[in-house]
A and B are shown apart, each in its own frame.
Chain A
Amino acid sequence: MVDVSQHELVPDHTVLDSDELEDVLAEYDIKKTDLPKIKRTDPALPDEAEVGDVIKVERDSRTTDRAVVYRLVIE
């Protein structure tokens, strides 16, 4: 399989560590289950990501330079 992360349609995916996660959840005042989801089987997911992790996605946005969104890894 080719390295999918190099594809121009695929933004950077990184696993959030627990400190960062807490900051994010505090900033938006949400639980992590309120986040959009991403499947554990998603080809763009970093190898080390586990179910329950939160992934930080950094997109080249059409409306601003860079947009950061988060997705919760699910089964």
Chain B
Amino acid sequence: MSETQYHATDRFEFVDEDVELLVEDTDLPRRLKNELYETIDDRGGMDLEAVEEVASAVESRYVNTRVDPLDPVGTVSAQSIGEPGTQMSVPYDEKVLVRRDGETDVTEIGSLIDGLMAVRESADVDGHEVTSGPEGMEVLSLRADERVEWKPLEQVSRHEAPEELLRFELESGRSIRATKAHSFVVQDDSGDIVPIAGDELAVGDELPVAGEYDARAGEADVSTLEAETALTDGGVVASKASQQSSIVGTASWDRIESIETVEPDHEYVYDFSVAGLETFTTAQGVVTHNTMNTFHYAGVAEIDVTQGLPRLIELVDARKTPDTPMMTVHLEDEYATERERAHEVVWKIEATKILALGDISTNVADMLVQIDLNPDTLAERWPTVDDVEAVAEEIASTIESALGVQTRQSGMLIEFGPEEPSYRDLLQLVEDLREIVFKGIEDVSRVVIRKEETEKGEEFVLYTEGSALGDVLDIEGVDASRATCNNIHEIYRNLGVEAAREAIIDETMNTLEEQGLDDVNVRHLMLVADIMTNDGEIESIGRHGISGSKDSVLARAAFEVTVSHLLDAAIHGEVDGLDGVTENVIVGKPIKLGTGDVDLRMNPGKGGSTD
């Protein structure tokens, strides 16, 4: 990123040094800063306070939507929120670097994957054909610490090509073509490597390239042509690469010289899935990033769920809401078998906010918020309403009642503004507008739809981020006998103690199994669940629950804060009947169980006993 002196004051008529200082101080990428300048210029200048407000609004929005490494973004999640245009991947004839059994090779990604698809069983994940990678094949992948490393190729996928691709030309002469949403990785201001969508890249941004490797392979940095010939040559590279450990070198950064859209000339586009940052390297050394996150929780891609000890603690502590609430929603009848019907249910569950429906812009001159709705999205999300105009009206009235403003709606355009012209109020309206839920359940931020093999055959199953089991059970199409969530309190409220008991057992067992502790006997977990639900409601195990409410002073003292328990007991003159196991262990008596519970008496005068 060219952070060195941008000199916006020279380029824009209405930008003075104060404004520049303010804008440059934000955490925004170059492209957005420039847009800010342009906007200021277009309006013939703005006062400093207004600039500050706009800049901070843009910044907060940018920071909120920025994606962290390994965050679930990309195809499956994007398509599940209904962006039909979202595609990824590189075209057929893009050459990629692969290593197999120590032999480095350059191959066309298309022919490689088509070959695999022809002989292997492939799964269909939301329009993407996915199959496992060939045994022993590795690709060059970028690690978070900028090292380039050979990583096993886990999965390959292909799908139909979109209408246009982006072609990036780099400073060094390398080039790459990819679909718009195919994420690349860039370095953010703090030096972290973060994924970024192709169409968010701008000229001047830098992409990582496997520089050192190329240099060693034949000084390929100068010309793409030479790079390819040198690499395809094979011999030299293979012998060198095979001697090296999996880490090949450090990535270097290459500036983007130009970006253009091109038409794809093949039916499909292709992608690789690699562990880690999910990046792979093309023959010209450009590192690209696949967002098909292969991390999965019980087979669910791209929904991140608390696991391991934190989850176990959460369950045993009976937290009111889990850290990462989620639901697993099975569907009924045709909803389970037809993708379109399943999507109807998705739109009823997933909270639809304004950002998904159209573009918002603020017209500062007229003090108006303008929403340009996307009719295709409306038609998709309100499949039962034929007339998108009616949907637009409904949206307008929702806005009116939620924000208390008068709206003007004509066609796909909705306009409204604050009562008094005020910049602050205008921005506040936009903020509030973003929070309005137009459709679906507020607590459910995302729904992922998956085709799964279950005992009922192949069916679509929905996984949600956020949970509201009570609401979901009432939705038409949802199989109310199988929908569950990971919040045991929600299950308790909607299905009762017995169901909560089952859920505690299931969740604890699954958490343990996930960690490889599958040989823990369920009886332990059943005991825990029985105790937690003994009183007819869910009680936690810890200090505020079962362990803290034991009758015996000694047992409580043995659990936590020994001295204060003993002191309190002394003050209140408590008596310990030594009935429990813990108390008897503490005082060194046999416990009242089994042989310890037998009250043995000797009959005097019978037999001959001494002692």
Contacts and interface: CB of A to CB of B under 8 A. Distances in A.
A37 interface: yes
A57 to B, nearest CB: 6
Contacts of B536: 36-39, 42, 71, 74
B480 A2 contact: yes
B46 interface: no
A16 to B, nearest CB: 15
Contacts of B495: 4, 7, 9-10, 43-44
A2 B505 contact: no
A2 B473 contact: yes
Contacts, number: 72
Interface stretch (B144-152, B154-162, B406-414, B496-504): B496-504
Contact of A37 (B480, B505, B534): B534
B482 A8 contact: yes
Contacts of B496: 4, 10, 38, 42-45
A10 B498 contact: yes
A51 to B, nearest CB: 11
B481 to A, nearest CB: 5
Interface in B528-542: 530, 533-537
B498 A63 contact: no
A7 to B, nearest CB: 5
Given A8-B482, A63-B522, A37 B499 contact: no
Given A2-B473, A9-B503, A39 B537 contact: yes
Contacts of B480: 2-3, 6-7
Contacts of B473: 2
A1 B494 CA distance: 9
A32 interface: no
Contacts of B544: none
Contacts of B238: none
Contacts of B534: 36-37
Q: Looking at chain A, what size class is its interface with the partner chain?
A: 20 to 34
B288 interface: no
A64 to B, nearest CB: 11
B523 interface: yes
Interface string B466-497: 00000001100000111010000001011111
Nearest to B522: A62
A2 B477 CA distance: 13
B379 interface: no
Interface string A33-55: 00011110011110000000000
Contacts of A39: 497, 536-537
A46 to B, nearest CB: 11
Contacts of B503: 9
B520 to A, nearest CB: 12
A28 B222 CA distance: 87
Contacts of B522: 62-63
Nearest to A9: B499
Given A6-B481, A74-B536, A57 B526 contact: no
A15 to B, nearest CB: 14
A14 B502 CA distance: 18
Given A38-B496, A71-B497, 7 more contacts: A7-B480, A7-B495, A10-B495, A37-B534, A43-B493, A45-B496, A63-B522
User: Which 7 interchain pairs have the tightest Cβ spacing?
Assistant: A44-B496, A37-B536, A9-B499, A2-B480, A42-B496, A39-B536, A6-B481
14 contacts: A4-B496, A9-B491, A9-B495, A37-B534, A38-B496, A38-B536, A42-B496, A43-B495, A44-B499, A45-B496, A59-B498, A62-B505, A62-B526, A63-B522
Interface of A: 1-4, 6-11, 13, 36-39, 42-45, 57, 59, 62-63, 71, 74
